[in-house]
Amino acid sequence: MNDPRIGRILVGADELQARIAALGKEITADYADDPPLLVAVLKGAFMFMADLAKAIDLPVEVDFMAVSSYGAATRSSGVVRIVKDLDLDLGGRHVLIVEDIIDSGLTLQYLRKNLLARSPASVEVCALLVKDGLQKVDPALKYEGFRIPPDFVVGYGLDAAERYRNLPFIAEFLPDAV
């Protein structure tokens, strides 16, 4: 895509796939006795969920939930609203939240609390990206893909005003470029 607002590539497509394969292996080993229920947070995590699920060699189940915290702005409000809830019951299940990116960590804090209230056996988190030094709360991630600088990024599921989700890599977003 020849778009001046797409800046430096921070994580290339091959690098993404290699790391996701490794995460899949780790998860496969850790959950061998109890296949997890993968819960992805829409929309940002849709692509990561698809690739991660394929990299896990266990009979997992998947479910989706949508929360809204940003609107079209690029800063976290800390206010999270469930736009689409899960279809499956979490009672007694080992839940693995699949998140695209941890910025302030507020969205994840809310989600974890919300899911823990549904009597799961466990709730852990696999986040593809973690922004360096920005977390207001300890995100306590069991699995983490990449640490990136605290810039706004797009691609591989992540958007700026709903665009760029289909880029196969993670790039800096330059809002002021013409």
3-state secondary structure of 5: coil
C-beta of 13 vs 42, nearer to ligand IMP: 42
**100 lines the binding site for ligand IMP (CB under 6 A):** yes
By CB under 6 A, the count of residues binding ligand IMP is 18
Angle (CA) 75-79-80 rounded to 5° is 105
27 binds ligand IMP (CB under 6 A): no
Convert 48-78 to b/e letters by CB count within 10 Å (16 or more is b): bbebbbebbebebeebbbebebbeeeeebee
Report the C-alpha gap between 145 and 152 in whole angstroms: 17
- Which position among 44, 120, 155, 157 is part of the footprint of Mg ion (CB under 5 A)? 44
Q: Report, in this order, helix, strand and coil percent for the chain, each rounded to 5.
A: 20, 35, 45
Verify binding: residue 40, ligand IMP, rule CB under 6 A.
Answer: no
| Tokens 């020849």, residue located | 2
Query: Which one of 31, 46, 70, 169 is in contact with ligand IMP (CB under 6 A)?
Result: 70
59 neighbors 33 (Cβ within 8 angstroms): no
Q: Which of 31, 46, 152, 169 is the binder for ligand IMP (CB under 6 A)?
A: 152
Between residues 35 and 164, which has the closer beta carbon with respect to Mg ion?
Answer: 164
Of the candidate spans 3-11, 20-28, 48-56, 104-112, the one that interacts with ligand IMP by CB under 6 A turns out to be 104-112
Active centre residues (catalytic): 103
Cα(171)–Cα(121) distance, integer angstroms: 36
For Mg ion, which is the closer residue by CB, 36 or 64?
A: 64
* Residues engaged in binding ligand IMP (CB under 6 A): 44, 69-70, 76, 99-108, 152-154, 158
* Residues engaged in binding Mg ion (CB under 5 A): 41, 44, 100
